[in-house]
Amino acid sequence: MSETVRFAVGEAVRVRAEWPPGHIRTPWYVRGRAGRIERHCGVFPNPEELAYHRPDARRLALYRVRFAMRDLWEEVGDGGDTLDAEIFEHWLEPVRA
Amino acid sequence: MGAMQAPAPPERGWHDMGGLAAGAVDPAEHDYELWERRVDALLVLCGSRELFGVDGLRRALEDLGADAFVRMGYYERWIAAIARNLVETGVLTNDEIGRRIAEVEQRGTTYGEVGDP
């Protein structure tokens, strides 16, 4: 199986607004939020599958995604602060133009 | 005809606390008891034996539920989560763990020293 890297540095992405049960490595506070790819971190077995002893965990690209703090918590104001979170590829979608 | 009710929002995991108010952080350092060091070492051993790793630990910690975060200490939660993973991977049965707990309880209420079995 090829290990594709779907997103490029600088690309706008949105975190899926979904709430599966079980062990999830994408924090609640970024679900449904948009940011930009800050870097590609490498390809790793999916921890959400490793957590359940799956020997065949999918290998997925991991990205550091940069969000504007004001896009996560409105009350933060427009100080220009950012937050970086490392998100696996299956949790990301391209932002529609 | 009435409008459909929106589905209830999904419940946030107790551990998924990023962004929530949590009070001040206590920066004080503290030492660890011998049993806590052994629990930590046990996790490392399980990883080196390729039985399970940090992801299985985290998942089992989350499954302990919000009450465990209040009632149990850090390494108490860890050993509960490690035990769960050891049962799942077939290393131990719950019955074996229960029998060993009963044996240890017979020794008394204090933990042993380095070198004790």
Average pLDDT over residues B91-99: 98
CB atoms within 10 A of CB A53: 17
Q: Select from A22, A23, A28 the Cβ nearest to the Cβ of B12.
A: A28
Contacts of A47 in chain B (CB under 8 A): 55
Nearest CA-CA distance, residue A30 and chain B, Å: 10
On the question of pLDDT at B114 being above 60, the answer is no
Percentage above 90 pLDDT, chain B = 70
Q: Which amino acid is present at B108?
A: G
Give me the pLDDT at residue A1, please.
Answer: 45
Nearest CA-CA distance, residue B12 and chain A, Å: 7
Interface of A with B (CB under 8 A): 19, 22-24, 27-29, 47-48, 50-53, 72-73
Average pLDDT over residues A11-27: 96
Residue A29: HSE in the Cβ half-sphere, 13 Å Cα cutoff:
18
Residue identified by tokens 């997925």 is A60
Single pTM value for the model: 0.87
Nearest to B62 by CA among A71, A24, A58, A3: A24
**CA–CA distance, A92 with B26 (Å, rounded to integer):** 35
Question: How is residue A13 annotated by DSSP?
Answer: E
On the question of pLDDT at B60 being above 50, the answer is yes
Task: Output A83-88 pairs: Cβ under 8 A, ≥24 positions apart.
Answer: A84/A38, A85/A27, A85/A30, A85/A35, A86/A41, A86/A62, A87/A15, A87/A26, A87/A30, A87/A62, A87/A63, A88/A25, A88/A26, A88/A44, A88/A46, A88/A47, A88/A48, A88/A60, A88/A61, A88/A62, A88/A63
A72 to chain B: closest CA residue? B19
Average pLDDT over residues B81-110: 94
Task: List the Cα angle B101/B107/B112 in 5-degree steps.
Answer: 95
* Helices and strands, counts by H and E, chain B: 5, 0
On the question of pLDDT at B64 being above 80, the answer is yes
ipTM score of complex: 0.89
Q: Looking at A50-54, A61-65, A77-81, A85-89, which range is the least confident one?
A: A77-81
The answer to whether the beta carbons of residues A94 and B41 sit under 8 Å apart is no
A20 to chain B: closest CA residue? B10
Give me the pLDDT at residue B41, please.
Answer: 98
Percentage above 90 pLDDT, chain A = 86
Per-residue pLDDT band at B109 (split at 50, 70, 90): confident
* A53 to A48, A79, B87: CA distances (angstroms): 10, 43, 12
